[in-house]
């Protein structure tokens, strides 16, 4: 019995059907993968928020410093110490301070010479230092070099005031040894909407490092879709858009 091969039209039809199916399935796969990353990110943030609340209990109902001098870390910090070093003893592993949606960078490998610097300065989430700490220069809270913790009692609405929100450096890094991915790593501090300048172009001044990295359509314009995981002072986690985060009552009382 003679077998008949596919005609050109039949082959083109099959190719077209496969292409259509791929166009349908691939975005779904991408969305599912990003959802899994966002879920892991939220889980990590929950652990960090719980670590922060345990710290508060251990230190006489006082928040942790945002940036400080004198203890924690190692010589690799170049003299800078940020809040992740204070919460590190309260979590199982340092990886929980990061989000899988961030760039996979060698800076977060313990053998990297910048590891300690990056660990403290570039967690996935920024700390609400403007309200939960006292800057050493009240006239310039953004440019301050230290942020000393306030008492927990200053917060009257712990379920409505944010403690951490996803962040990014946002500015291209000029320091020698840092690559372009550094721009999209998290940053240890964020500031409320009264300090925001808007985008594009995206700079550190645009949203003061607040960055809704999940499902974002355009990294240079974070208002185009996307949302950020947020931890409130009482420890609960919520996904929020940049527009929702622009409400000042979430940041200060």
In this prediction, residues 156-171 reach a mean pLDDT of 95
Q: What is the pLDDT of residue 30?
A: 53
The whole-model pTM stands at: 0.85
In angstroms, the CA 197 to CA 210 distance is: 12
Query: Residue 217: is its pLDDT beyond 90?
Result: no
User: Which residues fall within 8 angstroms of residue 179, CB to CB, at 6 or more apart?
Assistant: 105
**Does the pLDDT value for residue 160 go beyond 70?**
yes
DSSP 129-152: HHHHEEES-TT-TTT-S-EEEPBG
For residue 233, what pLDDT is reported?
98
Range of the domain at 80: 8-250
Q: For residue 209, tell me if it sits in a domain.
A: yes
Say yes or no to pLDDT of 165 above 90: yes
Residue 172 is predicted with a pLDDT of 63
Average pLDDT, the chain: 86
Residue 78 reports pLDDT greater than 70:
no
* Alpha carbon distance 148, 51 (integer Å): 18
Structurally, the chain folds into a number of domains equal to 1
Question: Is 3 domain-assigned?
Answer: no
Given a cut of 80, whether residue 142 has pLDDT beyond it is: yes
Residue 118 is assigned to a structural domain of this protein: yes
Q: Which residue has the higher pLDDT, 70 or 58?
A: 58
Neighbours of 152 (CB within 10 A): 17
Q: Does 47 have pLDDT greater than 60?
A: yes
Residue 80 located in a structural domain: yes
Q: What is the pLDDT of residue 71?
A: 53
Write down the residue that tokens 């203890």 correspond to: 71
167 touches 126 (CB < 8 A): yes
* Residue that is written with structure tokens 């185009």 in the block: 224
What is the bridge-based pairing of β-strands 67-68 and 162-166?
A: unpaired
Answer whether residue 201 shows pLDDT above 70.
yes
pLDDT tens-digit readout, 86-124: 999 999 999 999 999 998 888 888 888 888 888 999 999
Confidence tier at 20 by pLDDT (50, 70, 90)? confident
Does the residue 225 lie in any domain?
Answer: yes
Res 191: pLDDT? 97
Residue 207 backbone phi and psi in degrees, to 5: -130, 25
Q: What is the pLDDT of residue 4?
A: 58
Q: Could you tell me if residue 2 is inside a domain?
A: no
């Amino acid at each position: 019995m003679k077998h008949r091969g596919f005609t050109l039209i039949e082959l083109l039809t099959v190719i077209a059907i496969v292409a259509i199916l791929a166009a349908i399935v691939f975005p779904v796969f991408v969305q599912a993968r990003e959802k899994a990353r966002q879920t892991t990110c939220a889980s990590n943030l929950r652990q960090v928020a719980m670590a922060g609340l345990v710290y508060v209990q251990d230190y006489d109902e006082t928040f942790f410093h945002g940036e400080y001098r004198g203890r924690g870390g190692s010589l690799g910090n170049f003299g800078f110490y940020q809040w992740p070093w204070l919460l590190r003893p309260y979590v199982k592993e340092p990886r929980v301070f990061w989000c899988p949606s961030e760039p996979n960078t060698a800076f977060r490998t313990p053998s990297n010479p910048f590891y300690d610097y990056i660990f403290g300065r570039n967690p996935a989430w920024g700390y609400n230092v403007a309200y939960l700490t006292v800057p050493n220069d009240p006239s310039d809270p953004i440019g301050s070099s230290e942020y000393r913790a306030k008492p927990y009692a200053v917060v009257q609405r712990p379920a409505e005031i944010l403690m951490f929100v996803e962040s990014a450096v946002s500015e291209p890094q000029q320091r020698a040894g840092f690559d372009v991915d550094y721009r999209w790593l998290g940053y240890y501090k964020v500031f409320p909407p009264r300090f925001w300048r808007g985008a594009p172009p995206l700079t550190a001044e645009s949203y003061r490092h607040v960055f809704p990295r999940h499902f974002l359509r355009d990294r240079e314009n974070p208002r185009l879709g996307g949302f950020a995981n947020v931890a409130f002072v009482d420890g609960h986690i919520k996904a929020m858009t940049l527009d929702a985060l622009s409400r000042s009552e979430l940041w200060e009382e």
